[in-house]
Amino acid sequence: MMIEIGKPAPLFSLYNTEKQLVSLESLRGKNVLIHFFPMAFTGVCTAQLCNARDNMEIYTKLHCTVLGISVDSLFTLGVYKKQENYSFDLLSDFNKTTIQDYGLYYPDFVFGMKGVSNRAAVLIDKEGIVRYFEVTPTIGDQPNYNAITDALAKLA
């Protein structure tokens, strides 16, 4: 079932690339933007996360923590984070529980690969309520970055 704007975001605890557990509960009191992406080292996913990287100044000014979540291993995400110089946490949902909880399980990717995250952006406010939620029309599309920033500005 998909999450809904105005409802509490499903809680999660996932490992980052430094092998530290990051929970949504631990981020309570902060606005959180989560970029869900299918797979590291792919063109559209890199563009999505590079957009976040290149706009970190805006997110910081608006008091927002940015996260990226995919089903890649934390080791793969570590290499990817270093290569692309991301300053925000990338979290591994290797067991696919969070993407299922958020209604983002994408069953058939490319080359016969199964079970990745759909591409999505989720903005969660300081109280843990979903304030913006977008699943892209196709996995090859980018989220609406202007709409994300506008929604975040309303929370600042």
Q: What is the pLDDT of residues 31-40, one digit of tens each?
A: 999 999 999 9
Q: Please tell me the predicted confidence (pLDDT) of residue 38.
A: 92
pLDDT of residue 112: 78
Is-contact 37 134, C-beta < 8 A? no
Evaluate if residue 109 carries a pLDDT over 80. no
Bridge-based pairing of strands 31-36 and 64-70 is parallel
The pLDDT value recorded for residue 68 is 97
Q: Which residue has the tokens 């290797």?
A: 94
pLDDT, mean of residues 109-116 = 77
Quick one: pLDDT at residue 135? 95
Q: Which fold has domain 13-155?
A: Glutaredoxin (3.40.30)
Active site residues: 45
Decide which of 153 and 114 is more confident. Answer: 153
Q: Give CA–CA dist 139/37, Å, rounded.
A: 9
CA distances from 124 to 13, 83, 93, 96, 128 (A): 15, 28, 18, 20, 6
How would DSSP label each residue in 117-150?
Answer: EPPEEEEE-TTSBEEEEEE-SSTTSPP-HHHHHH
pLDDT tens-digit map of 13-63 = 999 999 999 999 999 999 999 999 999 988 777 888 999 999 999 999 999
| Arithmetic mean of pLDDT, 87-113 | 90
In this predicted structure, the answer to whether residue 94 has a pLDDT above a threshold of 80 is yes
